[in-house]
Amino acid sequence: MTSRLDGPLKVTGEARYGVDHNLPGMAYGYLVLSTIAHGEIATMDTSAARSAPGVLGVYSPFEPLELWTPSSPLMGETWVPLQDKEVAYYGQPIGFVVAETFEQARDAAALVEVRYHERAALTSLEDGLDTAEDAPPPHREEPPSISVLADGVESIEDALAASPVVVEATYRTATQNHAAMEPHSAVAVWGSEGLTVYSGNQGSNLMAAELAGALDVDPSSVRVINPFVGGAFGGKARTSAPAFLAAATARVLRRPVKASLTREQVFTATAGRAATVQKISLGAERDGTLVAVRHDSWCSTAMDRSFVEPTSHGTSREWYATPNLAISQKMVPLNIPPTTFMRAPGEAPGSFALESAIDELAVKLDMDPIELRMRNNSTAPPGKDLQWSSKHLDECFRIGAARFGWANRSACGRMDGDWLVGLGTATAMFPAIRFPATVEVTLEADDTAVVATSGADPGTGLLTVLSLVGAESLDISPERVTPLLGDSVLPPGGMSGGSTATASAGTAIMIAAAKVIDELLALASGPDGPFQGMDVSYADGQVLDGNGRAMTFGEVLRSVGRPAVFATGSSAPGEELTKHSFSSFGAQFCEVRVHRWTREARVSRMLGVFDSGRIINQQTARSQIMGGMIWGVSAALHEGLEIEGNGRLANGDLAGYLVPVNADIPDVDVQFVEYPDTLHNAVGAKGLGEIGMVGMAAAIANAIYNATGVRVRHIPIMIEDLLDE
């Protein structure tokens, strides 16, 4: 196991995040947010703000900055603030004040008077279900409705009607915010070579491209630096409002500008996870074999319809073998803050519904929940011919059951003093994906190496992975490898999202390392090389000939007067997508204790066993899975944004928006079954940043049912949900 290379800097406070950069002559920006959910800005009186102490500029749709809407093949269009007078949600950025100090900018922003032509707002997902729209296909490159029927079956309704045992229920999940420790922020400065922006993000080259498009400048003149990211989880995949505004005002004022959202502003001026309503019907034989699965989903989305939470497509489409399957995905446009990717988008809320329904089926069949899941284990997604490249979910359940003491579980829980104790389980799956990535590997004359890419490490441990895979590919010790990340001038590393970074960058490293070794050998045996005209090979960081003579790569470079030799390697999904289906798998277990009088629910034990291919670094991998499992606890028992009828968030701060603290989380046990999946990528690794969250909320709800006999079909689960009627 290898400790995180960036760990000492982070725990000692030496790591410099975006907002930590202070430049000479720097000014400070503060956002003005809307106080209605729907309408048009009639007037904005900025006179008092302009005359306030220290104010350098006030910008609004009436006095706009020069910004355009950028678009990219990967992300589509990204919303840019202050471009029109329309208000689509409460807390939308509508103004920007820049002053000599943060306090002056904040105080002046409070002086801006806004009048609106207010219109009726739609803020309730439940009220909009009857007018829901089909979700657009690009989110999964599949139609919003999919039906797979066995021969002779005319409809999913017929398949369910013919099933001896049927479970049908509706499940709900709450709106959530990423609530990363680092608020969205940026420091922007223009120089002779263009713009430099310091900002936490999930892909510096992607952010640089969006800024270039928004500012209408050549992409080569924009540099984005993000060596450290204080949490992202999908919420920093796109360029934030502070970054657009800081960059534009820095150009106008000709001085550096720092802009950072306050904690309260993070809850509205950024995007979060959609709320969902999911109706699931399961039909089965009496031995538990699934006959039919129907999963209809509705999710909230902003009025721009820019994102859909693909709950049905992300779970029932792939998880269990069934001859009859029908899924649909609809969206309800609302006057709410935008929705976007959030850790395990689709799979996290979708698994709560599906895995709760599977547990309900097990209860109705009087069958062990693990036996039911294993009986319906799929070898390929239903309706697809492409089998899983590697799947060891049954082993995860067997190992987990033995390790967790599942054999001691009672169908009706047990008592421990005043506590009702129950056990729950759930399947976890998350697709194994790769994004295009390019990495540069450099061999230095001092016998060290550099592995560089513009990708980001938003807490995933990617920086350490670069050093480990680089060292392995170059056959040297990791201590001799310097990994570089988070700078858009480096080769484009893609986005750190979708649990893709290790597989994507790791494969590119292997390609680049092979190329740079070939370059080294050509130098060594070339006309001016120390092994002129000889057949040479490479091993253990050395060039060798057939006579036993060896030189380190640094010695070879010094002998030919070269300070370094480098090569780039690029990797992208390829023909493997036409041959197999790819996913990570896992089995979640938890023990929950519910107080018999107060009905307080507490998770007392958790275990996750995961099949995620090759594990590059056990220590950081365990940390990623533990973090995801804790997120599952948070979703099940804590997190949920309350949206009032007028669109205002009732708990849009860390006082009212609950997340777990140390006292809420017991010891978390994690185990991996390691089967490298080289059909997916040359490294053999599959994603694990997000799968740790998948299924855990359902496992907790299932454990609560086991302890109390109360089935709660929504999250978060509250004390009042468990009170005796």
Written in H, E and C, the secondary structure of 581-608 is ECEEEEEEEEEEEEECCCCCEEEEEEEE
- The pLDDT tens digits for 584-618 are 999 999 999 999 999 999 999 999 999 999 999 99
487 and 588 co-located in one domain: no
pLDDT (0 to 100) of residue 84: 96
Element (H, E) at 277: strand 276-284
What is the secondary structure of 398-428 as a DSSP string? HHHHHHHTGGG--TT-EEETTEEEEEEEEEE
Residue 346 lies in a domain: no
- Please provide residue 111's backbone torsions phi and psi, each rounded to the nearest 5 degrees: -90, -10
Nearest residue to 279 via CA among 291, 295, 258: 295
Residue 93 lies in a domain: no
599 and 670 co-located in one domain: yes
Cβ–Cβ under 8 Å, residues 156 and 149: yes
- The pLDDT tens digits for 466-479 are 999 999 999 999 99
The dihedral through the CA atoms of 718, 343, 672, 669 has a sign that is negative
Beta-strand (E) ranges in 417-527? 419-431, 437-444, 449-452, 481-484
Kind of pairing, strands 145-148 and 133-134? unpaired
Residue 361 pairs in a beta bridge with none
Number of Cβ atoms within 10 Å of the Cβ of 158: 14
pLDDT band at 140; cut points 50, 70, 90: low
Cβ–Cβ under 8 Å, residues 189 and 223: no
pLDDT (0 to 100) of residue 287: 98
399 and 459 co-located in one domain: no
Residue 183 scores a pLDDT above 80:
yes
Residue type, 627: G
CA dist., res. 139 & res. 132, Å (int) = 17
CA dist., res. 92 & res. 282, Å (int) = 41
pLDDT (0 to 100) of residue 2: 84
553 and 689 co-located in one domain: no
Residue 262 lies in a domain: no
Cβ–Cβ under 8 Å, residues 543 and 520: yes
439-456 exposure pattern, b = at least 16 Cβ within 10 A, e = fewer: bbbbbbbebbbbbbbbbb
Residue 230 lies in a domain: no
Average pLDDT over residues 170-184: 97
Residue 74 lies in a domain: no
539 and 447 co-located in one domain: yes
Cβ–Cβ under 8 Å, residues 664 and 590: no
Long-range contact list for 188-194, CB < 8 A, 24+ apart? 188/243, 188/246, 188/247, 188/249, 188/250, 188/256, 188/257, 188/258, 188/259, 189/23, 189/250, 189/256, 189/257, 190/250, 190/251, 190/254, 193/221, 194/218, 194/220, 194/221, 194/222, 194/223
CA dist., res. 473 & res. 469, Å (int) = 6
706 and 622 co-located in one domain: yes
pLDDT (0 to 100) of residue 141: 64
In three-state secondary structure terms, 708 is: helix
CATH for 626: 3.30.365.10
What integer best gives the mean pLDDT of the chain?
Answer: 95
**Distances in whole angstroms, Cα of residue 446 to Cα of each of 19, 383, 484, 556, 565:** 35, 56, 18, 10, 12
556 and 623 co-located in one domain: no
Kind of pairing, strands 481-484 and 449-452? parallel
**Angle 526-531-533 from CA coordinates, rounded to 5°:** 55
What is the secondary structure of 124-191 as a DSSP string? -TGGGGGG-EEPPGGGTTS-SEEEE--TT---HHHHHHT-SEEEEEEEEE--B----SS-SEEEEEEE
Specify the number of domains making up the chain: 2
Nearest residue to 445 via CA among 349, 341, 559: 559
Tokens read off for 72: 């990219």
What is the secondary structure of 82-127 as a DSSP string? TSSSEE-STT-EEEEEEESSHHHHHHHHTT-EEEEEE------TGG
Residue 116 scores a pLDDT above 80:
yes
- Please provide residue 214's backbone torsions phi and psi, each rounded to the nearest 5 degrees: -70, -30
Residue type, 116: Y
Active site (catalytic) residues: 690
Residue 627 scores a pLDDT above 60:
yes
Residue 64 lies in a domain: no
Burial class (CB in 10 A: 0-12, 13-18, 19+), 138: exposed
- Which structural domain, as residue segments, surrounds residue 469? 437-572
Cβ–Cβ under 8 Å, residues 56 and 99: yes
Residue 651 pairs in a beta bridge with none
**Unique residue bearing structure tokens 């000709």:** 254
Residue 597 lies in a domain: yes
Half-sphere exposure (CA, 13 Å, Cβ side) for 641?
A: 30
Tokens read off for 347: 């799979």
Cβ–Cβ under 8 Å, residues 109 and 116: no
CA dist., res. 331 & res. 307, Å (int) = 9
- The pLDDT tens digits for 287-344 are 999 999 999 999 999 999 999 999 998 888 889 999 999 999 999 999 999 999 999 9
**Distances in whole angstroms, Cα of residue 599 to Cα of each of 337, 419, 635, 704:** 33, 9, 18, 10
508 and 470 co-located in one domain: yes
447 and 473 co-located in one domain: yes
CA dist., res. 224 & res. 565, Å (int) = 26
Residue 197 lies in a domain: no
711 and 618 co-located in one domain: yes
Q: What is the CA radius of gyration of the chain?
A: 27
pLDDT band at 136; cut points 50, 70, 90: confident
pTM: 0.96
396 and 420 co-located in one domain: yes
Query: End of a domain among 538, 572, 606?
Result: 572
Nearest residue to 308 via CA among 316, 295, 317, 299: 299
Query: End of a domain among 572, 597, 613?
Result: 572
Average pLDDT over residues 636-664: 96
Nearest residue to 501 via CA among 477, 529, 546, 469: 469
pLDDT (0 to 100) of residue 664: 96
The dihedral through the CA atoms of 664, 704, 396, 398 has a sign that is positive
Tokens read off for 716: 């978060």
The total number of residues shown for the chain amounts to 725
Query: End of a domain among 507, 539, 572?
Result: 572
420 and 447 co-located in one domain: no
Residue 1 scores a pLDDT above 80:
no
Average pLDDT over residues 431-453: 96
DSSP H helices in 187-297 = 204-215, 241-253, 263-269
Cβ–Cβ under 8 Å, residues 288 and 375: yes
